[in-house]
């Protein structure tokens, strides 16, 4: 790597680790909010994130305009991100935190597929093997059954798909020079607007404690979104996405400390397979780059 690329790579790693910590906190706060409807949680998560992202964008004094030809990619990123967010929130509400977190982290493997299909990037044999093995690992976490009990896990997988598609478009926007804060602000505004009708007609009153955790959810989400957007704008997902799996460690610690959750042995096997596959893929890629 040349000096500039090395610097971008290190910044990408730092940003993605910070993002993982923020998103693990977000998952904890989602759960601690209690029996508030999932879509209502999503609305306030994005409303608070919108205020923070828009404020940051204004303070940066960057031009408040979307790059030429980028609107369609911003719209696609936001639609995919909204799908991923709603499904992930539902999974977090109904599963152990590390289970929901690891299923969401199937996103880098989905990103490989979407990068090939949408960005016309090439994927090597080891990358395709990693996709197959990671999805096999997800089976241990999902524990498929012919009952509605599997819905939260299925939602978690769909959340990972939406996130993977969203980050593919983030990468596309980064390649096209779009301001990372504009990407975050657009996404937060899009999802807030999309969920406003639900809030107007189906709003459920909340306690002071629930309001507090929703505010904290929004703050943590904004931090996670800002840093992961910066990360994927700095370096390709296939080079740094392995570090995003640190969220499983953060989530497991938070789940045990604050919720008394202990993953079962099948889930642990799934974690090991998925995280191990991510590390193996990353090592193969790094050896290839230095060959």
* pLDDT value at 232 more than 70: yes
Mean pLDDT calculated for residue range 62-68: 81
Alpha carbon distance 155, 104 (integer Å): 9
* pLDDT value at 229 more than 90: no
Alpha carbon distance 243, 245 (integer Å): 5
Q: CB neighbours of 278 closer than 8 A, spacing ≥ 6?
A: 105, 108, 130, 134, 241, 242, 245
Alpha carbon distance 19, 44 (integer Å): 19
How many other β-carbons are positioned within 10 Å of the β-carbon of residue 46? 28
User: How confident is residue 29, by pLDDT bands cut at 50, 70 and 90?
Assistant: very high
The share of the chain scoring above pLDDT 70, in percent, equals 96
The 10s digit of each residue's pLDDT in 240-257 is 877 888 888 889 889 989
Q: Tell me, what's the pLDDT at 193?
A: 94
Q: Please report, for residues 10, 60, 125, the alpha-carbon distance to residue 189 in angstroms, rounded to integers and kept in the order given.
A: 30, 18, 39
* pLDDT value at 5 more than 60: yes
* pLDDT value at 237 more than 70: no
Alpha carbon distance 176, 170 (integer Å): 10
The predicted model scores a pTM of 0.85
* pLDDT value at 291 more than 60: no
Any idea of the CA torsion for 269, 155, 260, 217, to the nearest 10 degrees? 130
Mean pLDDT calculated for residue range 6-12: 83
Burial of 80 per CB tally in 10 Å (0-12, 13-18, 19+): buried
Q: Tell me, what's the pLDDT at 281?
A: 80
Alpha carbon distance 79, 17 (integer Å): 25
Q: Which residue has the higher pLDDT, 69 or 225?
A: 69
The 10s digit of each residue's pLDDT in 105-147 is 898 889 889 988 888 888 888 888 888 999 898 988 888 766 6
């Amino acid at each position: 790597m040349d000096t500039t690329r090395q610097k971008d790579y290190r910044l990408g790693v730092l940003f993605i680790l910070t993002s993982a910590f923020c998103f693990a906190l977000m998952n904890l706060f989602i759960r601690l909010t209690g029996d508030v409807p999932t879509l209502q949680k999503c609305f306030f998560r994005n409303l608070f994130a919108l205020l923070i992202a828009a404020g940051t964008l204004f303070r940066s004094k960057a031009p408040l305009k979307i790059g030429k030809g980028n609107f369609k990619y911003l719209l696609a990123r936001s639609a995919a991100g909204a799908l991923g967010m709603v499904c992930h929130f539902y999974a977090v509400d109904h599963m152990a935190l590390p289970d929901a977190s690891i299923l969401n982290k199937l996103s880098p493997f989905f990103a490989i597929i979407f990068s090939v299909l949408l960005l016309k990037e090439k994927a090597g044999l080891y990358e395709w093997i990693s996709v197959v093995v990671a999805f096999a690992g997800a089976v241990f976490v999902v524990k498929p059954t012919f009952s509605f009990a599997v819905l939260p896990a299925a939602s978690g997988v769909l959340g990972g798909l939406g996130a993977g598609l969203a980050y593919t478009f983030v990468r596309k926007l980064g390649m096209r020079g779009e301001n990372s804060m504009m990407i975050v602000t657009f996404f937060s505004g899009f999802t807030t607007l999309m969920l406003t009708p639900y809030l107007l007609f189906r709003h459920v009153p909340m306690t002071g404690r629930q309001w507090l955790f929703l505010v904290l959810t929004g703050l943590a989400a904004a931090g996670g979104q800002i840093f992961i957007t910066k990360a994927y704008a700095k370096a390709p997902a296939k080079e740094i996405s392995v570090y995003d799996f640190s969220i499983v460690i953060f989530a497991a610690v938070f789940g045990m400390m604050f919720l008394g959750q202990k993953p079962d042995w099948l889930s642990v096997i799934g974690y090991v397979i998925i995280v191990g596959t991510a590390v193996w893929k990353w090592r193969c890629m790094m050896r290839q780059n230095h060959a």
